[in-house]
Structure 1
Amino acid sequence: MPTQLEIAMNIMIRIFHQYSCKEGDRFKLNKGELKMLLQQELTEFLSCQKDPQLVDKIMQDLDANKDNEVDFNEFVVMVAALTVACNDYFVEQLKRKGK
């Protein structure tokens, strides 16, 4: 039986490929696929963002090799960075509550 972390890793891989296979290179996200993934899988994150250029900025930041696509390694960097930010927020909230 897989652990919760193994399940989470499997889900992350499956979600990436669910969106990357829609257009063009099936192992990379183009801008449209990335936008769709962000809108459908990170709804709360996007809902509190007011920048209309957010997807463009995320794409530019993630696209380390500048091929106008996001591969799985680049995608994992985004997920890790968002996870760290969420953890930092959670820790800060606990500190404020004195726990």
Structure 2
Amino acid sequence: MSTTIWIILAGGLLTYLTRIGGHIVLSRFERIHPRVEAGLNAVPAAVLTTLVAPAAMNGGPAELAALGAGVLVSFWAGGMMTVFLTAAAVLIVLRNIGI
């Protein structure tokens, strides 16, 4: 097999092991400490911030318009999937028309 295939397989295996490892460790506790639970609840927002912040700081007009559309939709619709799909659609359209 090529090196690329081995890298993909190793990456997939390591990703699986880290995910299942966290589940196994947390399932051993009867009750999770409130601070740990608060930290785990903050993970999705932290990940989203790491994805959005570079585009907001270094992006062009298309990225900023998509970010703005996502913010506006979040106030009206509220659902995370709706926000994501709207921002992605705005970004795709604006990039395809050359903005």
TM bracket (short chain): 0.3 to 0.5
Q: Higher helix fraction: Structure 1 or Structure 2?
A: 2
Point out the structure with max Rg over C-alpha: 2
Q: TM-score, normalised by structure 2?
A: 0.35
With structure 1 as the length reference, what TM-score do the two structures score? 0.35
Task: Give 1 or 2: higher strand fraction.
Answer: 1
